[in-house]
Amino acid sequence: MRTDLAYSGAYDFSTFSAFRTVDRYNDGHITIENLRVFFRNHSQYLSEREALAIIRRMDTDGDAKVGYSEFSDFINYQISGYSNNRIINNRPNSAEKLNRSAVHVNEN
């Protein structure tokens, strides 16, 4: 076991690999159906309305699809906001609480 690896605070994923994981058919964008299949494969079940709410949070051009640049911008913004908040306050801010409660995922 390696013991020389120090925690650097860096994240252990790339936004591109995360995007490709959700973009099931590798067609360059995430749709409502891609999102629902991704969540279903991880034992979470989204209604079409819930999936649309998530897509709308990331979709900046209004086409109801999320391209890589939209996905990357959203993820990087979320990570930077989360990291900065944790470093400064060591507790979630109101925006972070709102983000957590913005989409309710049914567990049934």
In the chain, the domains with their CATH numbers are 15-100 (1.10.238.10)
pTM: 0.63
Spatial CA neighbour of 58 closest among 39, 78, 44: 78
List the structure tokens of 39.
Answer: 């969540």
In tens, the pLDDT along 14-35 reads 889 999 999 989 999 999 999 9
* Per-residue pLDDT, 79: 82
Phi and psi angles of residue 104, each rounded to the nearest 5 degrees, phi first = -95, 125
With cut-offs at 50, 70 and 90, classify the pLDDT of residue 84: low
Identify the residue with better confidence: 61 or 8: 61
List the structure tokens of 32.
Answer: 């409502």
With cut-offs at 50, 70 and 90, classify the pLDDT of residue 78: confident
